[in-house]
Structure 1
């Protein structure tokens, strides 16, 4: 430490006599000691205790910042665990509803196609599409400034599932969007502009694709669930760990207190 004192004292002398070399200030901290205005002031005072105090305060500040960073890390881990728990619950619920929905799905390809719309049964896609389009057109006509959205539960029965629908009118453009969901499975959905299906045929095709895509949705749900569980485990692994430099922090505080007592013996 006293070598550091000597170097800092020499530095002050060079400042006072305008003989400071280009690299002197850089070399002054070559041993990693913090060099700041408080240190310069302490050296200039000629009181070694002031230099010791400046160094002790710098050590304490560094450890205190590390402790604060540790506390922030612990807080971030708690937030990550909370978010992961919420995600795990949501995805577990979705997976639990998807599995039986997939099992209940019936084929609609080829001659197996059957759709129930507006209390009528259709075995031809064009006829089913036209019937769906009529219902959607009627619903769209009911939209207006005071009624920008309308629910259409049970729009169709297709592939072993009831399909619900909703129409929403954009206040900015006036365009109408149709959203179709699988009943009791709103996560399985698609949306398209009503103007994009003039004959309703695109609606039937999208509905069939929605049902055949349920296994892929289940697979992605399970993958996301596994990721959420892994993220939670990683966050929990470091939760509750104490600050690894607690002893050094206490020692640094004690050292600073001891120096302050020496500098102020009457207090």
Structure 2
């Protein structure tokens, strides 16, 4: 218990080292060695190419600094991440679509394949790509009155096979299949009941503390043994991902560039404009 108490103390009082990119900031606590990676692309952390590159760069920098763990959260008070930026998908050419999807793949494999203990402090809504990031982590604490899930089918696209497999590692297969085909977004309470998140918390600070405590449970475990064990559990999915990686990009580009899918995106953006004017 002393170690966990030191983690809590360190999280509040010990000076930390800071790194940042255009759309992320990283705080590495010198006492605990745990890094807090905050997404900060207003207003909703939508995932465009630059954001995804910044996120990937920050994840790798945290690993290269030999941090003891990584906590992913949002600088936004209402949204963890809103997913792929529709503005970069609508009326985009095939090369642009391919680049966007490739960068999403890069972020997922960096986070899902990280040897570090990873946790998500979900302090807002986490649809689509936000859910992708959260479920790539090992532990999730989420605020009430939010939603999380993969709602790609509502936009006429589909979650990739590698993400479906990761979803099935968390949810029972029947529930995962139904949720993916419906494009279902779970409320915080539904997500806890289904096992999509681990705990409900009342504030971002509490979410960060719970994540810190989770990482602290590995304090007496050999880091290399822990990392190798984690990656053995994830190896089959990672291997399958690498095998189909290029085809996955091609399939996404083919689907996202179809006129009927582009129309759905256009209608979605138009609805957002109308809501913003009210």
TM-score of the aligned structures, taking structure 1 as reference length: 0.24
More helix by share: 1
TM-score of the aligned structures, taking structure 2 as reference length: 0.24
- Which structure exhibits the higher relative contact order, with contacts defined as CA atoms closer than 8 Å and separated by 6 or more residues? 1
